[in-house]
Structures are given as structure tokens and as C-alpha cells.
Amino acid sequence: MTHRLRKISLFILVIILVLTGCEQKNNSSEVIQLGITQIVEHPSLEDIRKGIMEALSENGFKEDENINIEFKNAQGNIENTQLIAKSFNKKDVVVAITTPSAQSAFNNLNDMPIVFSGVTDPESAGIVGKNITGVSDMTPIRKQLELLKTLIPNAKRVGIIYNSSELNSEVQVNIAKEEAEKLGLELEIASITNTNEISPALDKVIKNVDALYTHVDNSLASAYPLIVKKCDELNVPIIGAVDDYVKQGALAAEGINNYKVGYQTGEMIVRILKGENISDIPYETLQETELIINKDAANKYNITLPDTIKERAIFR
């Protein structure tokens, strides 16, 4: 009888060990695999990514606990965005920061949930479908040009440099053309295809303008210190589109906060991870804008700030 009980006890122990092993295996398989693809690194995009990460963490998705996050930077190369997208084909969710990265993910990952961020016009970019959603970083271009006229009332000619290979940049420039005409502003526009062309384009444009307008453009953002340096040398004030531009030396911006764009994106990812169907989640925009003023730049250009500006401005 004792021998039989020992055999039964041993059998039960084996069953428990097997079940425990299965449970541990299942628990490990429940760790979420998230891939983040980004065209290039610069402060504006880093703010977006930071917002995403903090939204995930604050909603219970902790790295090295229940979520593994793999980040890959395409170093500004479109071909790399394709390779990164293909390498993420086993992820649970792919996050694509910027239009080129989102386009590559959408074109290569047919059924996988994709959440974009930092995409200006998803519809023009052709990234609308049942497996993709996200948060647009479209900024209020008319408000930005109106701010330019308020702060620099004598400005007649405004310079714009944009990367013609970035669809989001082209969309914004077309809007700027329409709004500038309504506001009585003349535009001096130069197109580039990479950051190496920014310096000569600046030299050509800023000598003929009263101010420079810098919209959301990854090439501009990557070379912003150079833009500020050249404009400062020729006393050309800059009106920007995002907070980060002001931090780096632009006079002012009426625009979005990229961290908030990222955080809103992260909240959307959380909804998907908790079971909401991505096809039921339309893409969103950031409705709230901020007025940011660079105090040093305002002093440099002897800008008199109206009370209506002072009352709601954030000073950097």
C-alpha cells in the first residue's frame, strides 16, 4: 500500500511539474512584441517616441515585464524603412513614426496592426486601411502665418525650404501657398531632396526674405541648428511649427506639442493591446495647439509682444 501511494504521489508530482512548465511557457508567450520604426532621429521625433513610451508605461505595459519593444532607425534611407518593416512581420503591433516609415509598414505588413505617429496627411500618403490608424501631426499653418504677421508686421516676403521627396512636406507647402496669398504674403520657396542641400538653399532664400517659415519637415528638423545659425547671422527671424523649433532658436511657433502627439498615439496602442479592433479606431489629430515664444529671439529682433500674445504664450 505504501509503495502504491508513493507511485501515485510521484505521478501527481510529475503532472504538477508538467502543468507548471506549460503555464510558464504560456506566460512567456503573453509578453507583447512591439516594433517601432522611425525614418531618422531628431528631437521632434524623439519627443513623439518618448510620449508613446510613457503612455504605454502609465497604462501598465512595462518593458522587460509584459512588453518587449524593438526600435529601429532607418537613418533617413527609404530602402531601410522597407527592410525594417519586413523584419517586424512577427510583431503584435508595429508603430511607424513619420510618413515614409508608415508607408513602408503599410505596404509590407498587410494584416498586422499598424499605428502611425507624426504623419501629416494619412489620406494623401495612401495609408488608410482596416489594419492601420494613428495620430496626425498636422499643424495650423494659417495660424502660424498669422502669428508671423502679428510679430513681424512689416514682413512681406517669407522664405520656405522643403524636402520635395517628403509627401507630408509638399502637402504643407501647398497649404502655405494658399494661406499666404490670402494674407498678402509673398513666398520665396526652395526645394531640396536631402539635408546636404539645405545650406545652399538657405543661402539662396534668406537673403531675399523678411522672415523664414519652417513647417514640419524631417530634413529641416535634422538640420535645425544650421538653419538657426544662418538666419541669426543675417537677422532673419524664424516662425516655426512645433515647440522643438522654438527651443532651438526660432522666434515663435503656433503649433503642436510632439510629446502630446506621441502620448495620444500611445493611448491608441493601449486600446488595441487591450482588445479593441483597430478597424474600429479612426485616425486622430491633436486639436490643442500651443503658442511658444523664444524670449531671447524676441529681444534680439526687438519684437513688441501684444497683450493678446503675452496672455497665452509659453516662454522658452
**49 is a domain residue:** yes
**163 is a domain residue:** yes
> Are 272 and 265 spatial neighbours (Cβ–Cβ below 8 Å)?
no
Residue 211: Cβ within 10 Å count = 24
Q: What is the mean pLDDT of residues 11-34?
A: 53
Q: 163 and 109 in one domain?
A: no
Residue 71 belongs to domain with CATH number: 3.40.50.2300
Q: 112 and 164 in one domain?
A: no
* Structural domains counted in the chain: 2
CA 207 to chain centre: 31
> Are 221 and 45 spatial neighbours (Cβ–Cβ below 8 Å)?
yes
CA 303 to chain centre: 30
Confidence of residue 197 (pLDDT cuts 50, 70, 90): very high
Q: 297 and 161 in one domain?
A: yes
| Residue with the three cell numbers 502504491 | 4
Rounded CA separation 229/90 (Å): 44
**9 is a domain residue:** no
Q: What is the mean pLDDT of the chain?
A: 91
Rounded CA separation 52/41 (Å): 15
185, pLDDT greater than 60: yes
Confidence of residue 4 (pLDDT cuts 50, 70, 90): low
Q: 111 and 250 in one domain?
A: no
User: What dihedral do alpha carbons 294, 296, 300, 305 form, nearest 10°?
Assistant: 50
**127 is a domain residue:** yes
pLDDT of 2 reads 52
Q: 112 and 126 in one domain?
A: yes
Q: 145 and 71 in one domain?
A: no
Of 3-7, 188-192, 199-203, 249-253, least confident by mean pLDDT is 3-7
Q: 302 and 160 in one domain?
A: yes
Q: 198 and 103 in one domain?
A: no
Task: Quick: pLDDT tens for 40-70.
Answer: 999 999 999 999 999 999 999 999 899 999 9
**3 is a domain residue:** no
Going edge to edge, which strands form the sheet with 114-119? 67-73, 32-38, 93-97, 114-119, 132-136, 284-285
Confidence of residue 286 (pLDDT cuts 50, 70, 90): confident
Structural domain that includes position 250: 141-257+290-315
pLDDT of 289 reads 87
Task: Quick: pLDDT tens for 92-146.
Answer: 999 999 999 999 999 999 999 999 999 999 999 999 999 999 999 999 999 999 9
**61 is a domain residue:** yes
DSSP label at residue 112: S
5, pLDDT greater than 80: no
**230 is a domain residue:** yes
Rounded CA separation 155/184 (Å): 10
pLDDT of 44 reads 94
Q: 304 and 197 in one domain?
A: yes
pTM (2 d.p.): 0.83
- Looking from the CA of 157 toward its CB, the CA atoms found within 13 Å total 10
Q: 176 and 307 in one domain?
A: yes
Is 84 strand, coil or helix? Answer: helix
pLDDT of 29 reads 53
- Looking from the CA of 181 toward its CB, the CA atoms found within 13 Å total 5
**158 is a domain residue:** yes
Q: 315 - beta bridge partners? A: 293
Task: Quick: pLDDT tens for 68-103.
Answer: 999 999 999 999 999 999 999 999 999 999 999 999
Q: 269 and 247 in one domain?
A: no
Q: 120 and 167 in one domain?
A: no
